[in-house]
């Protein structure tokens, strides 16, 4: 299992574009989610291997976990 953590300690949102390893990435925590009284939530899941584009909200912490990927030996 791999974990990808994003955090922003600034007062303004920031746009991010990056690549993650192949596989499905599922959100585990998003402190900016409205259910935590935040301004907006990031996607629940996305596919790695392709470019990911997100806007991280101010003073936010987000954690994504990669679903298990079958490896061929």
> What would the pLDDT profile of 22-36 be if each residue is shown by its tens digit?
999 999 999 999 999
User: What pTM did the predictor assign?
Assistant: 0.85
**Residue 56 pLDDT > 70, yes or no?**
yes
- Reported as type and span, the H/E element at residue 16 is strand 14-19
Contact between 61 and 7 (Cβ < 8 Å): yes
Contact between 7 and 62 (Cβ < 8 Å): yes
**Residue 73 pLDDT > 80, yes or no?**
no
């Amino acid at each position: 299992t791999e974990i990808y953590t994003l955090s922003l300690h600034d007062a303004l949102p920031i746009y991010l574009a990056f690549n993650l390893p192949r596989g499905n990435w599922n959100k585990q925590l998003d402190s900016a989610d409205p259910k935590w009284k935040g301004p907006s939530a990031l996607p629940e899941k996305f596919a790695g291997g392709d470019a990911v584009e997100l806007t991280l909200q101010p003073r936010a912490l987000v954690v994504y976990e990669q679903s298990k990927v079958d490896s061929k030996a």
